[in-house]
Chain A
């Protein structure tokens, strides 16, 4: 019983990390149909931002305040990643709407540049970010221990998802974004500046990548190629969940996380990956458009 609960917790924990990474993609890929291969590098930027914030706290603030660096790191990572996303959108992405495969290749070029930039600034070797005292250690519940950092990530993901739901479904900006994504011409003729909406939506997606990067610093050391390890899995989450649906992304992430943990428990890490891949292919036989999809009569 305890083993099962521990496995479920591991699965949800893995799923929550996937979800955090896929949230940004759910916006840029799911809503805007841009395959942003540089998403991994935006995650990397968020992680390095956390590293810089921490270094500033170590050098300029009294020792007692150190633990609170991560509260500053979250908005800092969001803002910096969003700014870089905005620059990307204005310079490159805006030419690529409606050309998803080209956007994949062009953003791969961006990711090469950003990785090299990180290497030039911080050096090629990984750097470690020290977890704050508050988040290290574990909670004991019924003689089972749950690492606090993982629980923190779970809460962070829940907050991010909640914020996104609120933003997209309850605010004027969110309504405008959904209007533009569903029917661009109609939205434009009703007076919405689609250029502004595109740019700000992409920036928000990029910002969530930054937050994901902050969370990854709690799990392990960070380096210039940090993002590449997660990016494909995150894309699979969006594919499984269904493009354009936040709810699908949540379900897809938790599903892949839990199944991955189960498969790994019964086989090993690499066989687990193979089984997950086969499962996803089979799943798409059943639902080619993902778990949730918007029904339209459009063919292309």
Chain B
């Protein structure tokens, strides 16, 4: 009995439940400040699951997820800004000479519309870009570069349309949601648990997805797209669909993130953060779902702690870690665990086998 539970826990799903349990218990022993911080990392963890679905399983690398994340965050931030100021026109708009809210903002003053759009808007954008790139088989490498260009273009646009978006400063005046103060630790704790619940939900959703027939097709696209095409599958549909789902998950993550950090600005969704998201996936372990979650939490914890105390050294360290993991440990941290357990099993096997099955050569 005990052994069968242990064996179950050693699967990815089991390990994930263990992690979720740990994350649910952690708030009991942490100050409000750290709960809030951890909640932000969990939002990133949601995003990287979607990114892993796209990159780890389907082999399509998007470096534009910062933008999808940003769409979710901006849409939510606009709603919160309107609610916090009771529909008054924000200061930055007044400074640019606008006397009433633009129609895009008015539309987002409805909470249901805002929550829906935070997820749907990134999906629409991803669908359009995916449609125009996957449809006529533009190379994977080109797609990655195009997503980077998408980030560049969108960020430039956000910065220049200051009267709608707050420009480089972003949206900062986020104080209440549904009447609850965002600076109240109790609200933050509730948001933390909502984020955790969403993380579990998204994980299970993606876990089912990759273990279904659909998931097998995704892996086949990664490993031999042309063979799959010759077998009669239209791979571009699958790629468009996965890219769209992944963008929706990123939007959801952005929505939860902005509620916890309380500010959103273009520099948070720019090219460098977008690449870093992919690196969390690589660091944790591609195509494992669990690995990226660990990668996101670990790297962000490290960044928060070390970049305050040793900013210079941290930059060297994280740069080197990225290089070493990508070059020498393509499976990420998860493969490290497997490598060690394999060694351990071999070692055990050798020990128990000695005497019973002597090797032929000896």
A263-300, CB < 8 A from B: 268-271, 273-274, 277, 280-281, 284-285, 288-289, 299-300
How close is A180's CB to chain B, nearest CB, in angstroms? Answer: 20
Chain A residues within an 8 Å CB radius of B226: 299-300
CB-contact partner of B138 in A33, A35, A109, A288, under 8 A:
A288
Query: How far does the alpha carbon of A288 sit from the alpha carbon of B132 in the complex, in Å?
Result: 10
Residue of B nearest to A35 (CB): B141
Chain A residues within an 8 Å CB radius of B61: 101, 104
Chain B residues within an 8 Å CB radius of A37: 275
How close is A53's CB to chain B, nearest CB, in angstroms? Answer: 26
Query: How far does the alpha carbon of A289 sit from the alpha carbon of B140 in the complex, in Å?
Result: 11
Residue of A nearest to B279 (CB): A105
Interface assignment of B183: CB less than 8 Å from any CB of chain A: no
Interface assignment of A108: CB less than 8 Å from any CB of chain B: yes
Residue of B nearest to A110 (CB): B323
Interface assignment of B238: CB less than 8 Å from any CB of chain A: no
Interface assignment of A7: CB less than 8 Å from any CB of chain B: no
CB-contact partner of A232 in B129, B152, B319, B330, under 8 A:
B152
Interface assignment of B353: CB less than 8 Å from any CB of chain A: no
Interface assignment of B278: CB less than 8 Å from any CB of chain A: yes
A112→B322 contact, CB < 8 A: yes
A280→B330 contact, CB < 8 A: no
> For chain B, what secondary structure do more than half of its interface residues adopt (helix, strand, loop), or is it mixed?
helix
Interface assignment of A102: CB less than 8 Å from any CB of chain B: yes
B153→A113 contact, CB < 8 A: no
CB-contact partner of A106 in B137, B160, B327, under 8 A:
B327
A109→B322 contact, CB < 8 A: yes
**1/0 contact string of A95-131 vs chain B (CB within 8 Å):** 1100011101110111111011001100000000000
Given A92-B327, A116-B312, A273-B152, does the pair A232, B160 have CB atoms closer than 8 Å? no
B282→A236 contact, CB < 8 A: no
> For chain A, what secondary structure do more than half of its interface residues adopt (helix, strand, loop), or is it mixed?
helix
Query: How far does the alpha carbon of A239 sit from the alpha carbon of B144 in the complex, in Å?
Result: 11
Interface assignment of A78: CB less than 8 Å from any CB of chain B: no
How close is A106's CB to chain B, nearest CB, in angstroms? Answer: 4
Interface assignment of A228: CB less than 8 Å from any CB of chain B: yes
**1/0 contact string of A219-253 vs chain B (CB within 8 Å):** 00000000010001101100100000000000000
Interface assignment of B245: CB less than 8 Å from any CB of chain A: no
Q: How large is the interface on A (under 10, 10 to 19, 20 to 34, 35 or more residues)?
A: 35 or more
Chain A residues within an 8 Å CB radius of B138: 284, 288
A-B contact count (CB 8 A): 119
B117-154, CB < 8 A from A: 129, 132-133, 136-142, 144-146, 148-150, 152-153
Residue of A nearest to B318 (CB): A112
Query: How far does the alpha carbon of A107 sit from the alpha carbon of B146 in the complex, in Å?
Result: 18
Residue of B nearest to A109 (CB): B322
CB-contact partner of A112 in B129, B148, B153, B315, under 8 A:
B315
A284→B319 contact, CB < 8 A: no
CB-contact partner of B144 in A101, A270, A274, under 8 A:
A101
How close is B157's CB to chain A, nearest CB, in angstroms? Answer: 5
Residue of A nearest to B327 (CB): A95
Query: How far does the alpha carbon of A113 sit from the alpha carbon of B314 in the complex, in Å?
Result: 10
A113→B146 contact, CB < 8 A: no
A105→B278 contact, CB < 8 A: yes
Q: How large is the interface on B (under 10, 10 to 19, 20 to 34, 35 or more residues)?
A: 35 or more
Chain B residues within an 8 Å CB radius of A100: 141
Given A104-B144, A108-B275, A232-B152, does the pair A92, B315 have CB atoms closer than 8 Å? no
How close is A273's CB to chain B, nearest CB, in angstroms? Answer: 5
A273→B271 contact, CB < 8 A: no
B250-294, CB < 8 A from A: 271-272, 275, 278-279, 282
How close is B327's CB to chain A, nearest CB, in angstroms? Answer: 5
Interface assignment of B178: CB less than 8 Å from any CB of chain A: no
CB-contact partner of A270 in B142, B160, B322, under 8 A:
B160
Interface assignment of B217: CB less than 8 Å from any CB of chain A: no
B160→A228 contact, CB < 8 A: no
Given A104-B144, A288-B136, does the pair A228, B271 have CB atoms closer than 8 Å? yes
Query: How far does the alpha carbon of A115 sit from the alpha carbon of B314 in the complex, in Å?
Result: 13
B326→A109 contact, CB < 8 A: yes
Interface assignment of B159: CB less than 8 Å from any CB of chain A: yes
Interface assignment of B94: CB less than 8 Å from any CB of chain A: no
B287-337, CB < 8 A from A: 312, 315-316, 318-323, 326-328, 330
A105→B322 contact, CB < 8 A: yes
CB-contact partner of B316 in A102, A116, A280, under 8 A:
A116
Query: How far does the alpha carbon of A115 sit from the alpha carbon of B312 in the complex, in Å?
Result: 10
A92→B323 contact, CB < 8 A: yes
CB-contact partner of A113 in B133, B139, B316, B330, under 8 A:
B316
Chain B residues within an 8 Å CB radius of A102: 326-327, 330
Chain A residues within an 8 Å CB radius of B132: 281, 284-285
Interface assignment of B156: CB less than 8 Å from any CB of chain A: yes
The interface centre, meaning the residue of B140, B321, B323 with most chain A CB atoms within 10 A of its CB, is B323
Chain A residues within an 8 Å CB radius of B312: 116, 119-120
How close is A230's CB to chain B, nearest CB, in angstroms? Answer: 11
How close is B235's CB to chain A, nearest CB, in angstroms? Answer: 13
B323→A281 contact, CB < 8 A: no
A273→B156 contact, CB < 8 A: yes
Query: How far does the alpha carbon of A229 sit from the alpha carbon of B61 in the complex, in Å?
Result: 22
Query: How far does the alpha carbon of A124 sit from the alpha carbon of B226 in the complex, in Å?
Result: 48
How close is A226's CB to chain B, nearest CB, in angstroms? Answer: 14
Residue of B nearest to A106 (CB): B326
Chain B residues within an 8 Å CB radius of A233: 152
27 A–B pairs (Cβ distance < 8 Å), ordered by A: A35-B145, A101-B61, A101-B144, A102-B326, A102-B330, A104-B61, A105-B279, A106-B322, A109-B322, A111-B319, A112-B322, A228-B272, A232-B149, A233-B152, A235-B148, A239-B142, A269-B160, A270-B159, A273-B152, A277-B150, A280-B149, A281-B133, A281-B146, A284-B133, A284-B136, A288-B137, A288-B142
- Apart from the given pairs A269-B160, A280-B146, 7 other A-B contacts in the complex at a CB distance below 8 Å: A35-B144, A96-B326, A102-B330, A113-B315, A116-B319, A232-B152, A236-B149
